[in-house]
Amino acid sequence: MKLKEGKLEYGISYPYGLHRIVALNLVNLEPWEIIDEEWLQQLLPLLKNDYPNRKLLPFASRKDCNLLACLEAGKGEEVQMIHLGADSGWEQRSAPIKDFWTWFKMAIDDMIEFE
């Protein structure tokens, strides 16, 4: 798996940490999974349709529910936890997570608990 470099949708760039874990092939952190380019292209229209007031770029999905870890234009390094399919205004599942590495630590904790 390889991630695109540079600016992506809405001018968002993937954080260095995400590129690093993909380079190390740490892409399946069950229940979390890093989203590849093909899957991303399927998710973007859904997010744009369901949440037209938000500019979200998902990078990970939790397999046991419809939860996406997303970057959002204008929100810096924060990671937004979005419940795909929730009504607009109800999609945010928690307070924003400080940055990618904080999310990654949470994903590792989820993997340990998932076992």
Whether residue 3 lies inside any domain: the answer is no
HSE (CB half, 13 Å, CA atoms) of 4?
15
pLDDT of residue 3: 85
pLDDT of residue 7: 87
Whether residue 62 lies inside any domain: the answer is yes
| Segments of the chain scoring below 50 in pLDDT | none
Q: What are phi and psi of 82, to 5 degrees?
A: -115, 130
Any idea what DSSP says for residue 62? Answer: E
pTM: 0.95
Whether residue 2 lies inside any domain: the answer is no
Two tokens, residue 68:
């996406």
Q: How many domains does the chain have?
A: 1
pLDDT of residue 61: 98
Cβ atoms 110, 62 nearer than 8 A: yes
Whether residue 4 lies inside any domain: the answer is no
Q: Tokens 């924060």 belong to which residue?
A: 78
Domain interval for residue 98: 9-114
